């Protein structure tokens, strides 16, 4: 069972890319033995395990008052990280600033973004409005982007019409899960495609909610969690099968490899 040990402990307190299942969680040793690791143990995690319609999920919150969001793809030499562990190990002691990180959008076979992608205000890929097969092309797809704590999710068409300034970060993925409070029109309530999935939604207070399932679930169920429980008017699917989370506080580090862009949430200095 995916994340069996992690879920057993959590549940006792509670009462491209798509392939079935996922990789097991490894308890990370990134930064172990340092003063920063001792400090991490005193912090509260930004993530918690919840249950929605009998499916366990991990829900992580990025608060613009406390956090920054960035996209990360490759090391300074241009080599894609392709895993959360590789990225974390490259950070060294700087890993202490990470609140959590996830896979952050769909990608080509070499790890490069499939659609629009901006990192540190530099655009690597333009908006992809083409047609094709696969979840990315189940339109409307969308863009998750932001600058200086103002984070948004828009459909690709809305992004094209309304966003003229380049954001500090941006990633295109698909399909949209929730669009202006409505579920994606092509999604069944609980369709037959059931795998481990993750996505992101923005609530009316501007917080970003990242969700990764701990068991297989449908598009519709994930979308309903964003709409009905998190009250996010807009939410975007990030990926499935390869979905992965790094939460330094709980020492969770999913060992999924050969992923693409990473979305990284870091703590502001005052935190």
Lowest mean pLDDT among 39-48, 68-77, 121-130, 205-214: 39-48
Give the integer Cα–Cα distance in Å for 39 and 96: 9
Supply the pLDDT for residue 189: 79
Is residue 31 over pLDDT 50? yes
Average pLDDT score over residue span 86-110 = 96
What per-residue confidence (pLDDT) applies to 231?
Answer: 98
CA 154-159-161 angle, 5° bins? 135
The pLDDT score that the predictor gives to residue 26 is 40
Higher pLDDT, 117 or 33: 117
Residue scoring higher pLDDT (248 or 24):
248
What pLDDT is recorded for position 190? 76
CB 222 within 8 A of CB 1: no
Residues of the chain above pLDDT 70, percent: 84
- Residue 72 contacts residue 259 (beta carbons within 8 Å): no
pLDDT(1) > 60: no
Q: Given pLDDT bands bounded at 50, 70 and 90, which one contains residue 100? A: very high
- 57 has pLDDT over 70: yes
Tens-digit pLDDT profile for residues 158-199:
999 999 999 999 999 999 999 999 999 998 777 788 999 999
DSSP-assigned letters across all residues of the chain? -TTHHHHHHHHHHH-----SS-PPEEE--TTTTSHHHHHHHTSPPSEEEEEETTEEEEEEEE-TTTEEEEEE-B-TTS-B--BHHHHHHHHGGGGGGEEEEEE-S-B-TTS-BSS-EEETTEEEE-------SSGGGSSS-EEEEEETTEEEEEEHHHHHHH--SPPSEEEEES-EEEETTEE-TT--TT-S--B-EEEEEE-TTS-EEEEEESS-B-HHHHHHIIIIIS--SEEEEEEESS--EEETTTTEEE--BS---EEEEEE-TT-
Specify the higher pLDDT residue, 51 or 16: 51
| Separation between Cα atoms, residue 177 and residue 225, nearest integer Å | 10
Position 39 scores a pLDDT of: 52
Q: What is the mean pLDDT of the chain?
A: 88
pLDDT band at 37 (very low <50, low <70, confident <90, very high): low
């Amino acid at each position: 069972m995916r994340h069996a040990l992690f879920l057993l402990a959590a549940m006792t307190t509670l009462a491209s890319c798509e392939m079935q299942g996922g990789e097991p969680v490894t308890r990370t040793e990134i930064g172990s033995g340092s003063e920063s690791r001792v400090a991490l143990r005193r912090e509260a995690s930004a993530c918690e395990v919840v249950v929605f319609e009998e499916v366990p999920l991990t829900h992580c919150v990025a608060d613009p008052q406390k956090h920054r969001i960035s996209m990360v793809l490759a090391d300074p030499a241009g080599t894609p990280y392709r895993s959360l562990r590789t990225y974390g190990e490259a950070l060294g002691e700087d890993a202490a600033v990470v609140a959590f990180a996830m896979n952050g959008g769909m990608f080509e076979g070499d790890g490069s973004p499939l659609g629009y992608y901006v990192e540190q205000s530099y655009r690597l890929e333009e908006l992809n409005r083409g047609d094709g097969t696969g979840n990315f092309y189940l339109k409307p797809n969308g863009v998750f982007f932001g600058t200086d704590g103002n984070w948004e999710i828009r459909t690709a068409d809305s992004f094209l019409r309304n966003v003229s300034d380049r954001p500090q970060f941006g990633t295109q993925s698909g399909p949209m899960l929730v669009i202006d409070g409505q579920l994606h029109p092509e999604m069944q309530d609980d369709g037959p495609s059931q795998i481990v999935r993750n996505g992101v939604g923005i609530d009316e207070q501007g917080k970003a909610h990242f969700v990764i399932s701990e068991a297989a679930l449908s598009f519709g169920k994930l979308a309903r969690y964003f709409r009905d429980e998190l009250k996010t008017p807009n939410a975007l699917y990030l990926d499935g099968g390869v979905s992965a989370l790094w939460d330094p506080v709980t020492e969770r580090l999913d060992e999924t490899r050969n992923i693409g862009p990473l979305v990284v949430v870091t703590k502001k200095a005052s935190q």
